[in-house]
Amino acid sequence: MIALLRIIKFAFQDIIRNLGLSVMTVFILVIMLFSLNALWSIDKLTTEAVQLAKAQVNMSLYLVSTIDEKGLGDLQAYIRSFPQVTGVKVLLREQVLDIFKQRHELSPEILDALKELGGNPFGPTIIIQAREPQDYKKISEALDVPEYQQFIEGKSFAEHEEALTRIQNITNRIEKIGLGLTVLFALIAFLIIFNTVRVAIHSQRREISIKRLVGASNWFIRGPYLLEALIFTVVSVIIAIICIRLALQQVDPYVSVVFPNNFSLTKYYDSHKLYLFGIQAAAVLLLTIISSSLAMRRQLKV
């Protein structure tokens, strides 16, 4: 217990003696953690954006007005048999007519032309929802069979695949930039911690020599510097959590405008905080211990 208390005492003495380097070390670690969390947040936002865009993509089949109930039912069953299909919605002729009138209620000339026809010229419409945007092409090709092609007057597929590809490409570029910044800050933190420990050991060579003369073990000599690594980790993670929490509270109002499903980055981090910050704390601790150990091995020759 006495040895442990002395190790703690020596660790805090080293931090105070090299206060400038200690503060800089914590600052760089906080920036590294902040950039890493920004990368995670962008990845999560992009995932939500892609899912939201995919939910808006569908394929509409405009059927002939002469199709009977049996033909409509057989076509529905055929479409539902596709493994790529996740949902099928049918709009009957009357529903299609009502939607058309609502869409053109500000265009009286179109409604007048519709009245001139003296009836409902529209057939039923089948709206298909697939798992992935690229599945619609397969579904469209599968519907090009003589048995059902006679019922299909037209197809409509809003090409959102290009937009999704652009979103994914932008995300990949941002992730690469964020990853590069994280690695850069990790390297800077490694060098600063390495230099902090090296300067501390160099300035305490006489003290270390005395410790060796009185029989101090290598672990007793190393202990204060390893404890410093733990202190740097704890302090940097706590500061990073506070900063990230404040930043998310500022970002969330803008996120809620883009995502109508009440998605919140703050809620996401709250529900995954043990996982996210646990990994980050472990990574920072590993980084600080490795850099401290290398500095000690070089300087202490043990």
Give the pLDDT confidence of 4-37 residue by residue, as tens digits: 777 777 777 777 777 777 788 788 888 878 877 8
Q: Do 49 and 66 share a structural domain? A: no
Residues 127 and 187 in one domain: no
25 compared with 246, residue with greater pLDDT: 246
106, 241: one domain: no
Per-residue pLDDT tens digits for 111-161 = 888 887 777 888 899 988 888 777 888 888 888 888 888 888 888 765 555
More confident residue, 275 or 298: 275
pLDDT higher for 125 or 171? Answer: 125
Domain of residue 141, CATH code: 3.30.70.3040
Same domain, 280 and 135: no
Where in the sequence is the domain holding 205, given as residue range(s)? 2-53+163-300
The amino acid that residue 294 corresponds to is: L
Domain boundary among 157, 172, 189: 157
Let me know whether 49 and 168 are in one domain: yes
User: Does 27 share its domain with 130?
Assistant: no
Q: What is the pLDDT of residue 212?
A: 65
Domain co-membership, 38 together with 169: yes
- Indicate if 196 and 258 belong to the same structural domain: yes
| The one-letter amino acid at 219 | W
Looking at the fold, whether 282 and 171 belong to one and the same domain comes out as: yes
Domain total in the chain: 2
Q: Which pLDDT does position 218 carry in this prediction?
A: 65
- Give the pLDDT confidence of 199-245 residue by residue, as tens digits: 666 666 666 666 666 666 666 777 777 787 788 888 888 998 888 88
What pLDDT digit, counting tens, does each position of 44-85 carry? Answer: 887 777 777 777 778 888 888 888 888 888 898 999 999 888
The whole-number pLDDT of residue 207 equals: 67
259 and 197: one domain? yes
Please report where in the chains the tokens 């619609």 appear, as a residue. Answer: 136
pTM score, whole prediction: 0.65
Cβ distance 65 to 122 under 8 Å?
Answer: yes
Ordered DSSP codes for the chain: -HHHHHHHHHHHHHHHHTHHHHHHHHHHHHHHHHHHHHHHHHHHHHHHHHHHHHHH--EEEEE-TT--HHHHHHHHHHHHT-TTEEEEEEE-HHHHHHHHHHHTTT-HHHHHHHHHHTS-----EEEEEESSTTHHHHHHHHT-SHHHHTTEEEEEE---HHHHHHHHHHHHHHHHHHHHHHHHHHHHHHHHHHHHHHHHHHHTHHHHHHHHHTT--HHHHHHHHHHHHHHHHHHHHHHHHHHHHHHHHHHHHHHHHH-TT---HHHHHHHTHHHHHHHHHHHHHHHHHHHHHHHHHHHH--
The pLDDT confidence band at residue 276, using thresholds 50, 70 and 90, is: confident
Task: Indicate whether 299 pLDDT > 60.
Answer: no
Regarding whether 226 and 85 lie in a shared domain, the answer is: no
142, 109: one domain: yes
